[in-house]
Chain A
Amino acid sequence: MSNYIPTIGVEVHVELKTKTKIFSNSTNGYGKMANSLTNVIDLGYPGTLPTLNEEVINLGIKAATILNCRIRKVMHFDRKNYFYPDISKNYQITQNETPIGYDGYVEITKSSGEKKKIYIEEMHIEEDTCKSAHRGTKTLLDFNRAGVPLIEIVTKPCLSDGEDVKLYLEKLKELLSYGNISDCKIEEGSMRADVNVSLRKEETDPLGVKAEIKNIGSISNAKLGVEKEIERQTKLYDKKETFKPQTRRFDDKIGDTVLMRIKETGNDYRYFPEPDIPFVVLTDEMIEEAVKTIPMLPDERREKYLNIGVSDINTNKLIQNRSLSDYFNELLEEKINHQIASNLLLGDISAYLNKEEKDIKETTLTKERFIELVNLVDNNTLTSKNLKEIINHILEETKSIKEIMEDNNIENITDDTEIRKVIKKIIEENEESVKDYKEGHDRAIKFLMGQVMKETKGKINPKMAMDTLKEELE
């Protein structure tokens, strides 16, 4: 197989997290009875007119900011005219001439460590179409999705392989879900990606024939689809075969793309400015207000976590869990051991939350109680073994952690004099083992330690005991 240079562009649609639809006051919801979230506007009844949901404009401003786009201050909507049963008016209201955001980028880090900017050509606001379900010769239409606000984000053709696509989509998902712009649930269709792939021999050659891959059900499939498509086109070029611009879909079952249709040349959408919606003019104040409400984004969180001593692994894990990360953000200024705090959140606390299917906000773990917990673990008063025994109490009761430990008879001898007293006693009683240890038999210290634990019925702090034991044996 020869080597060709792939050129890849990605178009992503994300549904915005608004209460109501973009052009009517129907509820924006998922998984409800078909056509229950519709009104005469969504259904395109005669004489109905669109209104404009301001929340959508706000989210548009935020998304543009997050994606480092320039924001257009005077914009309008356009009608994209085409006949298809999924669009009730037979035109879609979109932004063709004046997308709200343009000239942006997001940065990805490739597995090689190389950082790469994925350039965003433009992002615009539009309405989602209805969902069609084909049943034999009939097609059923569910207009619940019709009029759900979308933003479409279009990259420049600057991606070069499946990894770029995967990392870009992951980054986009991370940013937009963190920005409270969208759920970005690919499986529910609230994030949808179409990928355009073409090949050419040399950088200086014109771009090759394009294939668009649709119906991609997951980010890993996006990567796989791109790789398969590069392979397919390479084989065709190698055999000196030509092909027409086409739309393909990713088939989950065979793990490959299949032809949907050959693209007709010159799709004529007869765009013109939507006369029912006046121009939208954004003031600096409106933009400022919207930007103010953008929550702290992953990159900033990452930097902050690493700076206060949280490990790489824990940092990434926290960021993958939005709710824990938000919780953790409240503790950034506290004088505590943040690595231990992150261990606790990602360890026993996460285990509890997963098992109980709860969010951390639904537990009794206030900031104050969590700080107490972190400090008790940090100063060895509470061992991890003991913690496991009382984690349910900690997360379900409101008593202080100390009280819970007392209730459960958990005592931890941390008093140095007391520890030393016990250890001295054990050393005196086990001369044989002490001698073994001094002769270099490491096993002996474990035996001595066992004796210490036995003597204290396990209530001695193991780490402190071991340190003291070593000290006394010198």
Chain B
Amino acid sequence: MYLNKSVKEINELLKKKKIKPIDLVEEAFQNIENNKELNAYITLNKEDAIKRAKELEDKEVDNILFGIPIAVKDNIITKGLRTTCASHILDNFIPIYNATVVEKLIEKNMIIIGKTNMDEFAMGSSSRTSYFGAPHNPWNKNKISGGSSGGSATTIAARDVLFALGSDTGGSIRQPASYTGIVGMKPTYGRISRFGLVAFASSLDQIGPMTTNVYNNALLLNAIVGKDEKDLTSVKKEEDFTRLIGKDITGLKIAVPNYFMSDIVNDEIISKVKDTIKVLEENGAIVDYVDVKYLENAVTLYQIIAMSEASSNLARFDGIRYGYSYENPENIEDVYLKTRALGFGEEVKRRIMVGSYLLSGENAKIYYNKALSIREDMRKALKEVFNNYDLIIGPTTTTTAYNLDDPMDDPRKTFMDDVLVIPVNMAGLPGLNLPIGFDKNNMPIGMQIIGNSFEEAKIYQLASYLEKKLNLNLDPNGGENNE
């Protein structure tokens, strides 16, 4: 057992040749096998991972992530490794190119262990829209892991591996991280290249790290950021995200939007967040409750913007060049209609239809353009908070993880799950989920820490401070807490 050790320890062992990357890879696959019923993966990269691990044996251990297994969400393109987006329409799709983040993982000599389960095309908040069935929450197998990065959250929470990549369009990293008791970061929009991330809502999508602890999270972020000439929306801002970890929080000014603590949030969660605020205040941070305008509009804006963009982004899946194609079409119309009718699941089709309607004729002006302009107001309102405060905090979710068999018949409910995480995407800000405790059913509760643009390091500073103070045991199997 090595994957329960800290990354630094593993790195030492690798350097001293006491272990080899293959040991880590075999252990990861054993863990995944033991936790098979969690359904965290869509495709395992067994053969290739073993081959890569063996190749690394002759290489110098050149960085702290060397030889360490990582799980990748299945909407991130991996060359030669099936990438399905949890959809029937791509269930035979083997890409001939890599996402830029994947290239970066390979550069760091990390080993991709497999592709994790998710909501189909990242559309959902429980991973139950997956064509491959939903993942199960390691804390309670009858509960959801959240979504859309449910598979990545599951495999991290279950301690199969130490690192995973997720993607976050409207909370899809932070919400499942909260439901499963792990650390998940959605970085500033533009921090990480989106090249090779299958687009859901281009102006909101962002890849981010999901890990068992704060330090690992910052390490993985270090490895994947940077300007990419293949993504015009990416920006050059490279730095060491671990640099403020371990620093004191005295004098740090923190804002809590009143809306985040209103009656939309479950009482147990509110009280846990209040406990945490107390810890912060006792340790020298200044915490104020503030009003932030437009937050209550975030879900509506999100629905309009995300579904409109999605309707266009998903138009390319037409059965002509790749992916599933209807077998016996009568004409081109038939290729489109039947491929898409049979290839996409219900939630995806609903969003494409709503999005198409929202952009149709004059609607684009009434809805999409209007939403973009209110979004800008909301962004300004949030940015204004940072004139006076270092960070914004609040609960990540309104409830803890609910049952897998809860009804899915109310499409609006799934968006309400994300009401607290969506504003961050709308404003392009960085936001992180930190586990802060458990409810009476022993399901994890998470706190969201939001920073100003490009101030991820400050988020990690607060998160790591709290992580240490709270010293929670976050292993669902009761194993040792790793630091």
Contact = CB atoms under 8 A, between A and B. Distances in A.
A44 B316 contact: yes
Contacts of B195: 47-49
A268 B232 contact: no
B470 to A, nearest CB: 38
B361 A47 contact: no
B93, B230, B315, B322: most-surrounded residue (chain A CB, <10 A): B315
B341 interface: no
A272 B332 contact: no
A81 B315 contact: yes
Nearest to B317: A46
B194 interface: yes
B90 A272 contact: no
A263 to B, nearest CB: 16
Contacts of B309: 272, 275
B308 interface: yes
A83 interface: yes
B198 A46 contact: yes
A276 B198 CA distance: 13
Contacts of B315: 81, 83, 89-91
Given A43-B321, A268-B361, A270-B356, A91 B93 contact: no
A90 B316 contact: yes
Contact of B90 (A46, A48, A91, A141): A46
Interface in B71-105: 75-77, 83, 85, 90, 93, 95-97, 99
B96 A270 contact: no
A91 B361 contact: no
Contacts of A266: 361
A47 B196 contact: yes
B85 A51 contact: no
B202 A275 contact: yes
A283 to B, nearest CB: 18
A141 B203 CA distance: 31
A154 B83 CA distance: 43
A271 B364 contact: yes
A141 B96 CA distance: 20
A91 B312 contact: yes
A427 interface: no
A145 interface: no
Interface in B424-476: none
Contacts of B201: 275
Nearest to A137: B331
The secondary structure that dominates the B interface is loop
A45 interface: yes
Contact of B312 (A47, A270, A278): A270
A450 interface: no
B230 A270 contact: no
B360 A270 contact: yes
Interface string B228-240: 0111110000000
A50, A275, A278: most-surrounded residue (chain B CB, <10 A): A275
A275 B203 contact: yes
B311 interface: yes
B139 interface: no
A89 B316 contact: yes
Interface residues of A, number: 31
B41 interface: no
A277 interface: yes
Contacts of B360: 268, 270
B199 interface: yes
Interface in B293-334: 308-309, 311-312, 315-318, 320-322, 332
A232 B122 CA distance: 55
B42 to A, nearest CB: 15
Contact of A44 (B77, B321, B336, B372): B321
Contacts of A88: 316, 321
Contacts of B96: 40
A255 interface: no
Nearest to A84: B332
Given A45-B97, A91-B312, A270 B198 contact: no
B321 A272 contact: no
A88 B323 CA distance: 14
A309 B290 CA distance: 81
B384 to A, nearest CB: 23
Interface string B354-382: 00100111001000110010000000000
A79 B85 contact: no
Interface in A71-129: 79, 81, 83, 85, 88-91
A423 B92 CA distance: 97
A408 to B, nearest CB: 60
Interface in B269-285: none
B359 A270 contact: yes
Given A47-B195, A47-B198, A83-B318, A272 B359 contact: yes
Contacts of A262: none
Contact of A278 (B83, B232, B308, B364): B232
Contacts of B368: 272
A79 B312 contact: yes
A79 B93 CA distance: 26
A52 B231 CA distance: 10
Contacts of B321: 43-45, 88
B349 to A, nearest CB: 15
A435 B456 CA distance: 112
A63 to B, nearest CB: 23
A88 to B, nearest CB: 7
A272 B312 contact: yes
Contacts of B197: 47
Contacts of A270: 311-312, 356, 359-360, 364
24 contacts: A46-B77, A46-B83, A46-B93, A46-B95, A46-B199, A46-B316, A46-B317, A47-B76, A47-B77, A47-B194, A48-B97, A49-B194, A51-B229, A52-B232, A81-B359, A83-B336, A85-B332, A139-B332, A141-B320, A272-B308, A272-B368, A272-B369, A275-B201, A278-B233
Q: Identify the 10 closest CB pairs spanning chains A and B, nearest first.
A: A90-B315, A270-B359, A275-B202, A275-B203, A47-B196, A46-B198, A47-B77, A44-B316, A47-B198, A89-B316
Interface of B: 75-77, 83, 85, 90, 93, 95-97, 99, 194-199, 201-203, 229-233, 308-309, 311-312, 315-318, 320-322, 332, 336, 356, 359-361, 364, 368-369, 372
Interface of A: 40, 43-52, 79, 81, 83, 85, 88-91, 139, 141, 266, 268, 270-273, 275-278
Given A45-B321, A49-B195, A273-B372, 11 more contacts: A40-B97, A44-B321, A45-B322, A46-B77, A46-B90, A81-B311, A83-B318, A271-B364, A272-B308, A275-B203, A276-B199
